[in-house]
């Protein structure tokens, strides 16, 4: 059935000034230190990961296979940054199941453009398909990460904020195929005027842990990049403390000793 109504555009909530600054640093780190020429990318929806395309101008021959397509992708296609030439399937195409957090101008450039193909999420998120992408880099948001690398993207304690979406499939596939599972988040947040760390000694009771630490290769905050792949629990704790907000590093070191290293 042909859809004739104007496109529905969900409002994009503004980032706080603090989150905006953190996102700029995080995206620059991911674009320059982790993303590499010729890789295929997935972008999670959210404050930080959806801002990443703007920082990819210096990369070459990227591909896109994602669930939600963020803004900035049409610019990279027109500049020749995204070519999709190295993808194992849908060669030369930008593949997604939906479009989100994009401007009306981006939508106009996507509409009718044969480079862009939308499929049901049972295809875009199919683990069997994703494991065939040997040069996969997947960048996803988290609400919090514990000191061993377990990721909570759905709840804070027992309070539900979101669902898992395709984050689990993309993390498993990118970590297995190429060691390219990336989690991004600011190191801390202001909650009712009080600063709280988003790197935690342990997740609160009732927390849904979205991605197991075994499928998390990098955690990136505005403090730096924690490289977790192949590390012991002690090594992971050290890496994650190094990217935590400085105000919390001492207490996280104590938590690591008491909760994980007995």
- Among 49-63, 74-88, 157-171, whose mean pLDDT is lowest? 157-171
Would you say how long the chain is, in residues?
262
Residue for token pair 């990217």: 243
Q: 235, 226, 229: which is closest to 214 by C-alpha?
A: 229
Q: Provide the pLDDT for residue 11.
A: 57
Instruction: Determine whether 67 is an active site residue.
Output: yes
CA triple 105-106-107, angle to 5 deg: 90
pTM equals 0.92
pLDDT tens string 170-180: 999 999 999 99
Q: Provide the pLDDT for residue 102.
A: 82
CB 195 within 8 A of CB 247: yes
Q: Provide the pLDDT for residue 104.
A: 86
pLDDT tens string 180-227: 999 999 999 988 889 999 999 999 999 999 999 999 999 999 999 999
Span between the terminal Cα atoms of the chain, in Å: 62
pLDDT tens string 7-47: 666 555 666 788 889 999 999 999 999 999 999 999 998 88
Is pLDDT above 70 for 70?
yes
Q: Provide the pLDDT for residue 261.
A: 66
b or e along 22-52 (b: 16 or more beta carbons within 10 Å of the residue's beta carbon)?
A: bbebbbebbbeebbeeebbbbbbbbbbbbbb
How many C-beta neighbours within 10 Å does residue 8 have? 6
b or e along 135-144 (b: 16 or more beta carbons within 10 Å of the residue's beta carbon)?
A: bbbbbbbbbb
Q: Which of 67, 154, 222, 239 is catalytic?
A: 67
In the chain, beta strands by DSSP E: 40-43, 63-65, 68-69, 94-96, 98-99, 116-118, 136-141, 144-146, 151-152, 155-156, 159-160, 181-184, 188-191, 194-197, 199-200, 218-221, 224-227
Mean pLDDT on 45-67: 94
pLDDT tens string 209-222: 999 999 999 999 99
């Amino acid at each position: 059935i042909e859809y004739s109504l104007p496109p529905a555009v969900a409002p994009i909530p503004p980032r706080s000034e603090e989150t905006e600054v953190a996102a700029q640093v995080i995206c620059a780190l991911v674009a320059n230190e982790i993303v590499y020429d010729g890789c295929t990318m997935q972008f999670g929806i959210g404050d930080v990961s959806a801002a990443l395309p703007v920082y990819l101008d210096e990369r070459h021959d990227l591909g896109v296979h994602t669930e939600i397509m963020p803004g900035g992708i049409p610019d990279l296609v027109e500049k020749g940054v995204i070519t999709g030439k190295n993808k194992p399937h849908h060669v030369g195409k930008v593949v997604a199941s939906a479009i989100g957090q994009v401007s009306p101008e981006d939508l106009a450039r996507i509409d009718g453009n044969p480079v862009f193909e939308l499929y049901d999420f049972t295809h875009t998120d199919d683990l069997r398909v994703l494991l065939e992408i040997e040069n996969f880099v997947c960048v996803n948001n988290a609400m919090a990460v514990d000191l061993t690398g377990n990721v909570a993207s759905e709840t804070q304690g027992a309070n539900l904020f979101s669902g898992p979406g395709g984050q689990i499939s993309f993390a498993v596939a990118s970590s297995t195929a190429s060691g390219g599972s990336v989690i991004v988040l600011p190191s801390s947040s202001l909650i009712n005027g009080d600063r709280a760390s988003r790197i935690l000694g342990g997740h609160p009771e009732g927390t849904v842990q979205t991605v197991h630490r075994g499928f998390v290769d990098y955690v990136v905050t505005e403090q730096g990049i924690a490289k977790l792949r192949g590390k012991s629990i002690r090594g992971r704790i050290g890496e994650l403390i190094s990217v935590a907000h400085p105000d919390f590093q001492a207490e996280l070191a104590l938590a690591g000793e008491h909760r994980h290293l007995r």
